[in-house]
Amino acid sequence: MNREAELSLDRIVRGSSLGRLIARICFSVLVLVLLGPFFVMLSTAIASNRAVVAIPPTWLPDQIAFSNFREAFTVIPLSRYFLNSGIIAGGATALNAIAAVPAAFALARLRFRGRRAFLIFIIATQMISPVVLLIASFKLMLVLHLLNTYWALILMDGTISLPITIWIMTAYFSLIPQEVQDAATLDGVRAWRMLKDHFVPLGVPGIVTALIFSFVIAWNEFVFALTFITNPTMRPLTTGIYAFMGQSQIQWNYLMAASLLAIIPVFVIFLIVQKQLASGLSAGAVK
Amino acid sequence: MVALEPHTQTRRLAPRGRTTEHLKTGLTHVSLVALAGLLCAVFLCYPIIDTFWLSVHNVNEFGQTQGFSGFANFATIFRDPAFRGSVLRSAVWTVVVVGVTTVLGLFVAVLLNQPWRGRAIVRGLLLLPWVASLVVTTLLWQWIADPDFGALDHLARTLGLIHTNIAWLGNGNYALPLMMWIAIWVSVPPTALILLAGLQGLDRDVYEAASLDGTRGSRLFLDVTLPLLRPVLTVTVLLNVIFVFNSFPIIWILTEGGPLGSTNTLPTYMYNLAFELNEMGAAAAVAVVMFFILLAFSTLYTRLAWRNVAR
C-alpha cells in the first residue's frame, strides 16, 4: 500500500478530532506519570548531600554534584556487585544458549516421541514462580553445598528463564522456510550439523532476543539472591543495594546514582533490540 | 526426515541397518533436548515435588523432614487469620493490578500504534520501568514516598491536595494502594509493548474493508481491533496474572508485609513463615496452596478464552 493511502486510512482509524484530542491529553498525562519517577531519580542522583535533604524539597537540586557517581562506588561496594551480577547473568545466559537453542530447534523442526508432552511441559512451567520454588530449591542448594556460590544463582536463574527462551526460539525456528530443512536433509545432514550450519545463522534475531531475556531475568532476579546468598561479597546488585540501604542512614543521592548506573547497561541493550524483542514476544504469544 | 513413530510390525520387518538408523536418529533427537530437560527436571520439577512432600511432613529449620504429618501444616495455616487476610489481599492485589494494567496498557499501545512525531522516543523511554530491576524501581518509589523529602508529598502539597505530609508507607490505609500503583506502574510498559507488537501484526486489509463498510473510530476499535487482538490480549492477561500474583520484591522491600501485617500477600506471608519464623512445613503448605490457586485460574481462564475464540 502506498504512503498516501496508508495515511488516509490512519485518519479513518483514528476517529473524530475531539475524541482524538481527549485521547492525546490523557496519553500525555499517563506518559508523564510513567516517566516522572525517573526524572526524580535523575535529579536526586545529581543532588549534593545538602540539596538532597532540602526542606521544602525542590524539583531540581540547587547544588549539583556529579561526583555522586564516583562517590557511590566508594560508599557502596558497587564494582563488586556489578562483577557478581555480570558473572551470574552471563552464566545464566550461557546456560540458556547451550540448553535452549537445541531444544527449541528439536521442538520446532523435528518429530519425535514425547515432543507434544515436552511442549505442554514447557508451557506449564511458565506458571511456576520463583516464590513457589523457593523453599525446596533452598533445601536443594543446601544439600548440593551451593549456597553462597555463583552456581546456585546461575543454575536457578538459568533454569527459570528456560521455558520462556525455548518458547521464543521455537516460534522463530518455526518461521524458517521448510526448504532449508528439506535441502539439508537431502544432503544427508544430521540434526546437530543442520542446527549449527543452517538454523543458528538464520535464527540469530530470535536467539538473541531470547538470550537477552534470560540475561535481564538473571540481572534483575531478587528472591533467589536474597535467599541463597548471605555472604556480603557474593551479593549481586539487586540484593547488594537492598542490603546496603538496610544499614544506617540511607544516602539517597548515592543510591539513586548507583541505581541509574545499574539501569543504563540493560536500557541500552533493550533500546538496540526493542523491535525484535516485542515481535519475538508476540510471536511467542500467538503460537 | 525420519519420523520416529514406533510401529512394532514394520520395525520387526525392517532390515537391521534401518533399525540402527532409527535408533541413531532417536538418540540425536534426545540429545538435542537432553540438557534443557535435565535442568527443568532438577531445578523446576524436583523442587515442586519436594514442596508437596514437605507440606505433608514435619520439617525442621534446615528443611529436613521429621515424620509424616498429614494435613497438619494446612490446618495450621488455615487457622491463621494472617493467612486468610493474605489470601484476600492477594486476590484484590491481582485483580486490581492486572485489570488497571490491561486497560492502561491497551490505551498506550493503541496510541503508540498511530503515527506522530516523537513516538519512537516515547516508546524507547517506556522501556525504563521495565528494564530497571524491581529492586531499583521499588527503592525509587520508597524515596518518592519519603515523608520528609519525597516528591509525592511535595507534589500533593504543590497541587493543594494535602496540607501536612503523609507517611505513605507507614500507614496501613495508604501502603497497599501505593504498592498496587507501583506494580501497575512497572507492568504497564511491557504490557503496552507486547500489545503494540500484536496491533502491528494485524492485517491492514481488514481495516480497509471495515472502513469501506463505513465503520469509524470507536466502533472500529470495538468491532474490529479488539476481537482480532484477542489471542495476544488473552496471553498477556494470563502472564500478568501469574507474574502479579507471585509478586514479591515490591512489598518485601517496602514493608516486609507490615505495618502489622496490613500489606501481607501470599508470597510475603510465605517468605516470612519460611525464613524468619523457620516454619518450613507450613510455608511449603502455603506454596502448595499458591500453586493450586494459579493452576485452577490458568485452567479455567484458558478454557473460557478458547471457548470464546472457537465460538
Give tens-digit pLDDT for B138-186: 999 999 998 888 888 888 888 888 888 888 888 878 899 999 999 999 9
Instruction: Tally the C-alpha atoms within 13 A of residue B162's C-alpha that lie toward its C-beta.
Output: 12
Q: Which of A:229-268 have CB within 8 Å of B? A: 237-239, 241-242, 245, 252, 255-256, 259, 262-263, 266-267
Q: Check residue B272 and report its DSSP letter.
A: I
Pick the residue with more confidence: A13 or A99? A99
Report the range out of A4-8, A133-137, A282-286 with the highest average pLDDT. Answer: A133-137
> Class of B72-310 per CATH?
mainly alpha
Read off the C-alpha cell for B121: 522516543
**Cβ <8 Å between B284 and A30:** no
Nearest to A102 by CA among A8, A146, A165: A165
Number of neighbouring beta carbons within 10 Å of residue B45: 14
Q: CA separation (Å) from A24 to A14, A19, B110, B112?
A: 11, 9, 11, 11
Q: Which CATH architecture has domain A73-286?
A: Orthogonal Bundle (1.10)
Contact A48, A64 (CB under 8 A): yes
| Shortest distance, CA B276 to any CA of chain A (angstroms) | 11
Say how far apart CA B166 and CA B187 lie, in whole Å. Answer: 26
Task: Using the predicted structure, report yes or no on whether residue A75 has a pLDDT greater than 90.
Answer: no
Residue in A95, A136, A278 closest to B51 by CB: A136
- Would you tell me the crossing angle of helices A78-109 and A252-286 to the nearest 10 degrees? 0
Hey, which residues does A47 pair with through a beta bridge? A64
Question: Residue A64 — φ and ψ, nearest 5°?
Answer: -100, 135
**pLDDT, position A267:** 84
Name every residue whose Cβ is closer than 8 Å to that of residue B176 and which is 6 or more positions away in sequence. Answer: B89, B93, B262, B263
CA B136 to CA A240: how far, in whole Å?
11
| pLDDT for res B221 | 79
B281 min Cα distance to partner chain A (Å): 9
* Residues whose CB is less than 8 angstroms from the CB of residue B14 and which lie 6 or more positions away in sequence, other chains included: B22
User: pLDDT band at A274, cuts 50/70/90?
Assistant: low
Q: Which residues contact A108 (CB under 8 A, 6 or more apart)?
A: A169, A170, A171, A172, A173, A174
Q: Half-sphere exposure of B237 toward its Cβ, with a 13 Å CA cutoff?
A: 20
Q: Is A86 exposed, middle or buried (0-12, 13-18, 19+ CB in 10 A)?
A: middle
**Alpha-carbon gap, residue B2 to B17, rounded angstroms:** 14
Could you report the predicted ipTM of this complex, rounded to two decimals?
A: 0.82
Mean pLDDT highest for which of A94-103, A182-191, A270-279? A94-103
DSSP string spanning A20-37? HHHHHHHHHHHHHHHHHH
Give the mean pLDDT of chain A: 83
Report chain B residues whose CB lies below 8 A from the CB of A242.
Answer: 135, 139, 253
pLDDT in tens, B248-266: 999 999 988 878 888 999 9
Three-state DSSP string of B251-266: HHHHCCCCCCCCCCCH
- Residue B180 phi, psi (nearest 5): -60, -40
Average pLDDT over residues A99-121: 87
How high is the pLDDT of residue B138?
Answer: 92
In whole angstroms, give the CA distance from residue B56 to residue A91.
35
C-alpha to C-alpha distance for B133 and B131, rounded to whole angstroms:
6
Look up the pTM and report it. 0.84
Q: Which sequence spans correspond to the domains of chain B? A: 19-68, 72-310
Q: Which of B109, B165, B139 is nearest to B249 (CA)?
A: B139
Q: Average pLDDT, stretch A103-118?
A: 86
* Res. A248 pLDDT band, cuts 50 70 90: low
pLDDT less than 70: residues of chain B = 1-19, 215-217, 306-311
Alpha helices in B69-132 (DSSP H): 72-79, 81-112, 119-125, 128-131
Using CB atoms and an 8 Å cut-off, which of residues 68-97 of chain B contact chain A?
none
Residue B258 to chain A, least CA–CA distance (Å): 16
Cell of B221: 476499535
B203 touches chain A (CB under 8 A): no
Q: What distance in Å separates the CA atoms of residue A122 and residue A126, rounded to the nearest whole number?
A: 7
Is A15 in CB contact (< 8 Å) with chain B?
A: yes
List CB contacts (< 8 A) between A266 and chain B: 131-132
